[in-house]
Chains A and B, each alone.
Chain A
Amino acid sequence: MAPPPKRGRGGGARGLEYISLDGLRVDGRLHTEVRKIRCSLGTLSRADGSAYYEQGNTRVLAAVYGPREPTGRDFEHDKAIVKCEFSTAMFASTARRRTWKGDRKSTAAAIVVQRLFEGVILLAEYPRCQIDIYVQVLQNDGGTLVAAVNAACLALINAGVAMSDYVVACSVGYVDNTFVADPNSLESGSDRPELTLAITPHSGKICSCQLVSKLADDASFESAMQYATAGAKQIFQVLEYEVKKYSLGLLDSRGMVAL
């Protein structure tokens, strides 16, 4: 796809070589490789839908309640409303940090997730209802928004909410003059550009696109988008297989295929 990465100037801010001579990253991945994904559906018995999602060392738990009666005053007469809450556990990062639910980063992430799913869920099927998505980051190693989107997607499928397609997210970073897919916390930082892209895999349409920091020029942006799309398609294969495995497991347990 892309030409092999140029050898980086050894030494980032901490004298660290992010991409070695062989083209391997700090954790041994190639620059197009996404971290290992493990996920399971239906983890929380009380929630309508839930999913536990791991991407490398980033671990996220998502729960979906709904469609149900609106808890607050606001509701739409002809469609459902989506409410999202994004929170990070105190023990999620290396330093124990007390994060408030309402702080800026969490709110921003929650709004992104909410708007994203508003476009994908068939809201017209559930008038005057409310769909709640709760995402909790249990371990933060970069790419929490990506993990949140993917976990929420699985949780919504588990809950049986009508969606037009999956939503799969992937992020792209830029280290040592190279685009890297799915950067971990070491490779992403406040001074590095990071593009988070969420697409619907069957149609390739973009649901959400967030860029942190600056990229050099438009060509870089196009390049980054390509990397992100390819990464998202990798992730989609994993998610689809996981959903299929879960569904067949349920059917096997229930014992009837003809309904």
Chain B
Amino acid sequence: MEAPRSSSASFTILRPKRLSDNAEAVSRLSHVPITSPGSVILAEDHSVRARRTLLSCGESENVLTATHAGVISRVNKLVMVMPLRSRYILETGVVVGGRVVEIASKRYKMDVNATKIAFLLLTAIKLPGNVHRRRNQEDELNMREYFKEGDLLVTLQSELVKRAKKHFHELPCGVHMTLHNNGFVFLSQTRKDAILLEIWWRIARVSNNILALDSEFNEIGPDTIMYAYETSLANGMEVKDMCTPDVVKIIGMGARPMREAARERFNCELLVGDQGGSFTTYESQIFVSGMVRREPLITNVWPATIRDGRKYGGMQQHGREAAKQHTGSSDAYKMQDKVLQASFQ
């Protein structure tokens, strides 16, 4: 495999290790504390087993047993098992992407790739044209109208997205990407005009790259995506060929050597794109990006912002500047301002 012509290539591609060579991985990584359900974890006395977000440990007769297949992690006296694969575990304060599955009275029911469905209240969204008013009957009937856009959603495994401060990235190839913690990725164009055909091709290429990285269980971040994108361009892969298993393996394997470098540089090289969540119709589904406000069982998603690309004028400032502009607005927006402040810290 030849090295790609990449501007940031300061590393060579190692011999690709296939996922099927796992027998070799077993011997090489035998020091990794892997468990599977039912196996006993050696724990000292007074070890605390962590609950909720990141793990589960069953306990019987003062013996800790694992309940998931995963890696044992110990922090002082806290023993946890980090599952390798599971549905996304929601926490308050994360930014997630959602897909509308149902419209109920005054709220949208959203699928956020977690165990439960999230609610997005009608009062929480900004009406098109930035109008501030109470929601009335007409708004309720028009709920279906409020989300229309032409962006692309890619779904990937949530474990592969590293938790980062910035979620909105503007990739150098002219594609705006919103990478959510729960594994939903929105791709759109950077400028507000209609999407040109060329941009569509780029979006499709980026999307295929992301899917390739995902199926090879690589870490997903703007760096790895751009590296894979450049690899695919350099090797002359056509967009339509990028879904075949061979090509997918090449892309996935090729991105591995840069994961070390990427992890160090991860927080420095993120480019913040223009603001807000993006919503989309993808085959008549509707997507929203927002922040989780409450724990499940009932999860409310407050949008970071909603943008209607056709009706908005220029760019809107994000973060604290935007929150300041909204002081003195109605109650419904005061909450939202706090959300904006919190999510962009």
Contacts and interface: CB of A to CB of B under 8 A. Distances in A.
Interface of A: 42, 45, 48-49, 66-69, 122, 125-129, 157-166, 200-203, 240, 243-257, 259
A250 B217 contact: yes
Contacts of B65: 164-165, 202
30 contacts: A68-B115, A69-B117, A122-B67, A158-B69, A160-B87, A162-B58, A162-B68, A163-B37, A164-B37, A164-B38, A165-B37, A165-B65, A202-B39, A202-B40, A244-B36, A245-B22, A245-B23, A245-B25, A247-B36, A247-B84, A249-B20, A250-B217, A251-B25, A252-B17, A252-B28, A253-B256, A254-B218, A255-B219, A255-B256, A259-B71
Nearest to A122: B67
A48 B87 contact: yes
Contact of A45 (B34, B87, B215): B215
A252 B16 CA distance: 12
Given A248-B22, A252-B25, A256-B219, A240 B36 contact: yes
B296 to A, nearest CB: 9
Given A157-B69, A164-B65, A257 B58 contact: no
Nearest to B217: A253
B38 A201 contact: yes
Nearest to A201: B38
B37 A166 contact: yes
Contacts of B116: 68-69, 128-129
A50 B65 CA distance: 23
A208 B33 CA distance: 31
Contact of B37 (A125, A157, A256): A157
A167 to B, nearest CB: 9
Nearest to B118: A69
B87 to A, nearest CB: 7
Contacts of A203: 38
A241 to B, nearest CB: 8
A136 B35 CA distance: 28
Among A166, A201, A240, A244, the one with the most B-chain Cβ atoms within 10 Å of its Cβ is A244
B259 A68 contact: no
Nearest to B17: A252
B32 A248 contact: yes
A254 B82 contact: no
Interface in B137-194: 160
Q: Is the interface of B mostly helix, strand, loop or mixed?
A: loop
Interface residues of B, number: 47
Contacts of B297: 127-128
A38 to B, nearest CB: 13
B99 to A, nearest CB: 13
B91 interface: no
A254 B34 contact: no
Nearest to B56: A162
A257 B71 contact: yes
Contacts of A126: 115
B29 interface: yes
A23 B215 CA distance: 47
Contacts of B316: none
Contact of B34 (A158, A247, A253): A247
Interface string B81-109: 01111110000000000000000000000
Contacts of B39: 202
Contacts of A161: 86
Among A69, A126, A159, the one with the most B-chain Cβ atoms within 10 Å of its Cβ is A69
A256 B85 CA distance: 14
Contacts of B218: 253-255
Given A66-B115, A125-B56, A255-B219, A245 B38 contact: no
Contact of B36 (A68, A166, A259): A166
Given A245-B26, A254-B218, 19 more contacts: A48-B87, A49-B85, A68-B87, A157-B36, A159-B86, A160-B69, A161-B86, A163-B37, A164-B37, A164-B58, A164-B65, A247-B71, A249-B19, A252-B17, A253-B17, A255-B218, A257-B29, A257-B32, A257-B71
